[in-house]
Amino acid sequence: MIEIGIIGGTGYTAGELIRLIIHHPKAKINSVVSRSHPNKWIHWTHQDLLGEIEMKFVDSLNEKIDIVFLCSGHGQSRKELKEISENVKVIDLSQDFRLMDQSIFKGRSFVYGLPELQKDNIKISNSIANPGCFATAILLAILPLAKKKLLKQHIHISAITGSTGSGKKVSETNQFSWRNNNISTYQIFKHQHLKEIKQEIQKVQNHFPYEIYFIPYRGNFSRGIIATLYTYSSFSLEENREFYKEYYKNHPFVEISDININIDLKQVINTNKCILSLMKEKDQLIITSIIDNLIKGASGQAVQNMNLLFNLDETCGLKLKSVRF
User: What's the sign of the alpha-carbon dihedral 128, 130, 131, 132?
Assistant: negative
**Amino acid identity, residue 163?**
S
Q: Of how many residues is the chain composed?
A: 325
Return the closest-CA partner of residue 102 out of 192, 164, 39: 192
CB 161 within 8 A of CB 220: no
CB 316 within 8 A of CB 307: yes
Helices assigned H by DSSP within the chain? 12-22, 42-45, 77-81, 115-123, 133-147, 176-179, 193-204, 237-247, 300-309
Return the closest-CA partner of residue 181 out of 217, 219, 223: 219
**Rounded Cα–Cα distance for residues 64 and 108 (Å):** 20
Q: Catalytic: which of 71, 133, 274, 316? A: 133
| Cα pseudo-dihedral 12, 215, 173, 225, rounded to 10 | -30
The alpha-carbon radius of gyration of the chain (Å, integer) is: 19
**Rounded Cα–Cα distance for residues 32 and 34 (Å):** 7
Q: Catalytic: 316? A: no
**Rounded Cα–Cα distance for residues 285 and 111 (Å):** 30
Catalytic residue positions, numbered = 133
